[in-house]
Structure formats: C-alpha cells, structure tokens
Amino acid sequence: MALILLIDDDPQVRTVLKGFLQIGGHRVVEAENGRQAQKQLLAEQVDLVITDIVMPESDGFEVIMSSACTDTPPKIIAITGGSPNLTQQTLLAIAQRMPVNKVLAKPVTCEALLTAVQDALAAPAPHKLS
Amino acid sequence: MKQIFKNISGLKSMFTLFLGRFLPLALFTLLAGGAIFLLERSSHLDLLYKFGKIQSVDERSPLTCALQQHQLVTISTVTLLALLIAAPIAWMRALRQRNDLIVEHQNRENLRSIKLLLDSTIEGIYGTDEKGRCILANRSCARLLGYSSPEQFLGKNMHQLMHHSHADGTPYPETECRAHRMITIGTAPALVTDEVFWRQDGSAFPVSYSVHPIQEQDRIIGMVCTFVDISERRQLEDQLRHAQKMEAAGQLAGGIAHDFNNILQIISGNTQILQYDLKQTSPDPPQLQEILKAVERGTALTRSMLAFSRKQTINSIPLELNQLVKDSQLLAQKLLHKNTTLHLELTEAALIITADEVLLQQVLFNLITNARDAMPTGGTITVATAERLLDEQSIGGTKDRKPGTYAVLMVQDTGQGIPEEIRQKIFEPFFTTKEVGKGTGLGLAMVYGTVKQHGGFVQVESQTGQGSCFSVFLPTVAACLMPNRNGTP
C-alpha cells in the first residue's frame, strides 16, 4: 500500500491506470500535466510517481528532471505511447537514460504495471541529482 | 574564311585559272590575225595583178615588199590590241570562276555542318512539306522510330507513318494533328507532352515535341518537328509520385500511433478491471478475453504501421540470412494450413547482412502469410536465398538502389498470381485483396518499409495463373563483421 502520483493528460487513460493501481491496493492522486504534478509533489510526499511522457504544458521529461533535483527525489515509472513526432521506442530509449526506475510502453497490462510498481517500491531510494 | 581561300589556291591558283581563260583567246587572236594577213595579202596581190602593176602574184618587187610591210605593221598592231583587250576579259572571268568555286565550297561546308548538327542531337528532327511529306530527317529520328536510316522517311507522310493513333489506339486523323496544324492554321502548341509516336515495330512511346514553321515569303510551306522519347522521365515521375505517397502515408501512420496506443490502453485497461471485478463473483466471461486478444492485434498493427513509417528504431546486427530462415522455419510452419507445404532452397554461400532480426523475421512471416493466402486451396511455398551482384546497368537508373552485392530472400507461391494493374499498389498501406476481416492490408506495406529501412528493396514477379515471387534484396556486408556465435576463433 503506497501513495502514488499518477500523471497523464488523457482522463480515460488516467481512470484505467488508477483502476489498476487500486486493484493493487494503492492510493492514487492524479495530475493532468507536469505543472500540476509539481504542485502536488510540493503539497504531498508520495512514494512513487507514474508519469506519461508526451503531455501539453509540461511534459514527463520535465517532471522526471525537476523531481530528480529535489532533496528527496521520488521513485519514478515513465509510461508512453509515442508521439506524432517521436516514436514510442525513441521516447522509451530517452526515458531509460534518465533517473527513472522503470519505463513502460502503452498499452500496459494490469499485471505488468503492478509488477513494475512493486519492483520500484522495493528498490532503494534514489539519490538527489546534482 | 582564310582556310577556304587557302583551299581554293591549293585547288586552282588564280594564275592557272587566268591562263585557262587567256590562252585560248590569245591563240584564237593570233590565228585570226594570221588568217586575215594571208587573206588580205592574196586579195591585194590579185588586185595589183589585175590592174597590171605586177607581172605575177609571186613577184618580189618594191611594191609587194611595201605592201607586206604595211600589212605586217597594221595586223600586228590590231592583234596586239586584241590580246590587250582579251587579257583583262580573261582575268575577269577567272575571278568570277574563283568566286563561284568559293561559294560552292562554302555551301558544301555549310551543308556538312548542318548535317553534322542534325545528326549529333539526341532529339529526333524531321521536316515536312505542306502536304506533310518528309523532306528531311536526322539519325536520331530514325533511331527513335526504329528505322535503320533517315532516308527511309523521305517523301513519306510522317503523320500516317508514326502519329496515326492516340496512346489508347484510337485513330488520330491528320486534320486534328497538333503538329500538322502549324502548316494548316499557322500555330501549334509550344510543347506537346501528352501524345505518343509509333515505332516501325508497332510499339508506341510517350513523346515530347515542338514544331517550327518553314516560311517562304510570309507563306508557311512546311514545318520542322523536334521530339524526344520521355518514357524514362515518365517512369521516374511515377516512381517519385509513388514514393511521395508512401512517405505521406508513413507520416500519417506515425501521427496516429500515439493516439492509437492511448485508445488501446483505455480498452484493454477497462477490460482488465472489469475482469478483475467480475472474478470476485462469477466466472470470467470469455468475451472479455476476446477483447484483450483484439487489443493485442491492435498493438501489433500499430507496430507494423510504425515500421512502415520508417520511424521505428531498429536494432541492426550482422546476421546470416540462411540461418535466420532456418531458425524461422518451425514458426513459419505454424502459419500454414495442412494443404500447404513449405520448401526451402537455401544457397550454400553465407549471406551476411546487417539487419534487425525480429523485423526481418516479421518480413519473412508476412511474405509467407501472403503466399499462403494467395493459395486458398493449398500449394507449395518455396523460400529461397541467393547472392546477387547488381551493377549500374541491372539497377537501371533507379534512384533508391545502389550497385553492389545483395543477399536475396525469395518467397514463391503457386497461387493465382497478381494482375498487373494491382502490382503497383500492393505495397501501399491498407491495400488488400483479401476479404473484409481477413487482412488489415499492412502486411506488405510493413515489408516495404522495413526492407527500405535496411537499405534494400523488394521486387515482385508475377504471372497470372503461375504464382508470384517476392524477392527481398538486402545489401550484404563483409563476412569479417559477423560475430562468432560459438566464441571460438
């Protein structure tokens, strides 16, 4: 049982992923873009962040980089379905080089997401990125 | 010009020309003088004899001597005068002849250079009189129309010879001919590019031609037509148009992939949640599993679309094509129905290529699936490999193909074959001849995209009723790049 911040601009996708996480017995707070997520992160200490990469306003890469620079960086799972300009594979490859615990490709199954959450929560706390 | 003068003086110098004119004149004058002298002398002597001044005509007396002296002086003077007049006349005539020779020589030179110009162009050129009969033609004209020499056209009606029908075979009357209109109404289009000319063997080629009038005192008495065979240009244009279409389709595919993945996520996610919720109370309804299977197919489709759009990142490694085919054989067999046999014809030579193993296997599976679907009642699918060396000539100017050594993967079926009219379209995304629900149409588009991404190309040979053969050409690499899989040197 953990507190997870879920960031995705598509409300229907958010509902689905929230449903998955609730099946796993987790508590979920939602944000629809990177900017909103920053506010949530300041207000609440979460155990894990699950973020989409391609979003309007402030994208997933920004969330990853800015939260990695905080004093207590959260664990992060990035999840993407590609973008009109960059393919899923390219985005996943970029995300893998960033301070994230796991990178997943859409569509993701309930099982795969919950396993990734489990692994991320069990992993040691990340260090602040200087 | 200097050259011409030199040639002329070499041929016949001015002096010989002059002598040629002057000597006959001089000889004639001298002979005439001599004859006059003899005639006058005998008539004078006759008169003197009649009047009894001398006893006989042969008598030598002071009188006859004086007469002879007088005659010699006057006739010599007259002859000399005549020679003096003859000399400038002869000179003038020599001069005129020399000028004639120069003009004639110049004409010959001009004619030669005009003929050289005509024969050295790639464009076919012919001219006709006002009735449309050929009055001139160059070598390219004969070559393009399949004749052995341009003289064969002379006097023939050019329209009836090589412009008699439209591309679709319907007759093209001379009265409507856009080239001939230059003669009849004095105007013609600047450039015609949508017609065909017919060769001697009865075949036609797309042509681009322009017409120029032949005028004589404001009256058009004929025309000259210049033309080129534009088959190759047409072919390149078609290729370019096709490539652009594929590019646009690829961009579209890349563009929708993102949204598509989100939609699939929503469908599959909700199904899984529903499955979870229902599991608590009753057994799992099989329909939910079917939805998830459909999502899986949708996911595979997105992946194919991206492969087609050439945006998918590929993980290329050096691999041996024959080995890949052998490794895929078992899986490929599973794609086939019982009435279809899979036959391998692999070359002995090692075919080392750089490729993404998974994608290339997908290419092979797609081709095998297509071959299977082309034979609903069963048959044989032959998968063969070969090494081919392609030079500039065998590539035939195709822009996206480079000369070199290629590994060829061929998938041959014994099905119905692909009709000519749809062969061009088979690599387009979503093009399918299968019944609705049996194919998405991305199979061959994926093959096209992936092979292109690997620096290769696909060729299709097909004869109606005799099956089709898809050949995938992939550039080979040097064998030394191949990692030794056993780890032993």
For residue B285, the tally of other CB atoms under 10 A from its CB is 12
Residue A16 lies in a domain: yes
H or E element in which residue B188 lies: none
pLDDT at residue B478, as a whole number:
66
H or E element in which residue B223 lies: strand B219-229
**pTM more than 0.80:** no
Look at phi and psi of residue A31 and say left if phi exceeds 0, alpha if psi is from -120 to 50, else beta. Answer: beta
Q: Tell me, what amino acid is at B404?
A: G
| CATH of residue A28 | 3.40.50.2300
Distance from CA of B272 to the nearest CA of A (A): 7
A50, A22 contact by CB (below 8 A):
no
CA–CA distance, A60 with A94 (Å, rounded to integer): 11
Closest partner CB to B265 (pick from A54, A81, A84): A81
Distance from CA of B293 to the nearest CA of A (A): 12
At B214, list the tokens. Answer: 């032949």
Residue A61 lies in a domain: yes
Structurally, how many domains does chain A consist of? 1
CA–CA distance, B325 with B366 (Å, rounded to integer): 13
Closest to B125 in 3D by CA, of B117, B115, B137? B137
Output DSSP code: residue B339: T
At A29, list the tokens. Answer: 């707070």
Q: Tell me, what amino acid is at B96?
A: R
pLDDT at residue B145, as a whole number:
95
Residue B391 burial by Cβ neighbours in a 10 Å radius (0-12, 13-18, 19+): exposed
Residues A87, B257: C-beta atoms closer than 8 Å: yes
Closest partner CB to A87 (pick from B259, B269, B313): B313
Residues A106, B261: C-beta atoms closer than 8 Å: yes
Residue B68 burial by Cβ neighbours in a 10 Å radius (0-12, 13-18, 19+): middle
Distances (CA, A) of B192 to A43, B224, B227, B229, B230: 75, 14, 9, 12, 11
The pLDDT tens digits of the residues spanning A70-123 come to 777 888 998 887 665 556 666 666 666 677 888 888 889 999 999 999 999 998
Q: Tell me, what amino acid is at B489?
A: P
Output DSSP code: residue A98: S
Residue A128 lies in a domain: no
**Residues in B lying within 8 Å of A, measured between beta carbons:** 254-255, 257-262, 264-270, 272-273, 276, 295, 299, 306, 311-313
pLDDT at residue A130, as a whole number:
56
Residue A102 lies in a domain: yes
CA–CA distance, B329 with B322 (Å, rounded to integer): 11
Distances (CA, A) of A82 to B79, B255, B257: 117, 9, 7
Distances (CA, A) of B269 to A79, B247, B298, B440: 14, 33, 14, 24
CA–CA distance, B481 with B353 (Å, rounded to integer): 9
B434, B366 contact by CB (below 8 A):
no
Look at phi and psi of residue A25 and say left if phi exceeds 0, alpha if psi is from -120 to 50, else beta. Answer: left
CA–CA distance, B38 with B53 (Å, rounded to integer): 20
The tokens 């960031």 sit on which residue? A7
Residue A130 lies in a domain: no
pLDDT, block means (10 residues), chain B with 489 residues:
56 78 89 89 86 80 85 89 89 89 92 89 93 93 94 93 91 88 82 92 93 89 93 84 73 75 92 87 82 85 67 70 87 81 90 84 85 86 92 72 89 84 68 52 70 85 84 80 43
CA–CA distance, B90 with B4 (Å, rounded to integer): 23
B309, B449 contact by CB (below 8 A):
yes
Residue A95 lies in a domain: yes
Residue B124: which residues within 8 A CB-CB, separation 6 or more? B137, B138, B140, B141, B142, B143, B144, B145, B226, B227, B228
The tokens 């002849």 sit on which residue? B97
Distance from CA of A14 to the nearest CA of B (A): 9
Residue A108 burial by Cβ neighbours in a 10 Å radius (0-12, 13-18, 19+): buried
The pLDDT tens digits of the residues spanning A24-72 come to 999 999 998 888 888 888 888 889 999 988 777 777 777 887 777 777 7
Q: Which residues of A touch B299 (CB under 8 A)?
A: 107
Closest to A9 in 3D by CA, of A79, A95, A76? A79
Residues paired with residue A80 on neighbouring β-strands, in sequence order? A105
Which chain B residue has the Cα nearest residue A90? B313
pLDDT at residue B156, as a whole number:
93
Residue A129 lies in a domain: no
B274, B316 contact by CB (below 8 A):
no
3-state DSSP percent of chain A in helix, strand and coil, to 5: 40, 20, 40
3-state secondary structure of B438: coil
Provide the residue range defining the domain that includes A99: 3-122
Q: Which residues of B touch A19 (CB under 8 A)?
A: 269-270, 273
DSSP string, B122-181: SSEEEEEETTSBEEEE-HHHHHHHT-S-GGGGTTSBHHHHH-SB-TTS-B--GGG-TTTH
Residue A94 lies in a domain: yes
Distance from CA of A46 to the nearest CA of B (A): 24
CB under 8 A, 24+ apart: contacts of B70-76: B71/B37, B71/B40, B71/B41, B71/B44, B72/B37, B75/B33, B75/B36, B75/B37, B75/B40, B76/B33
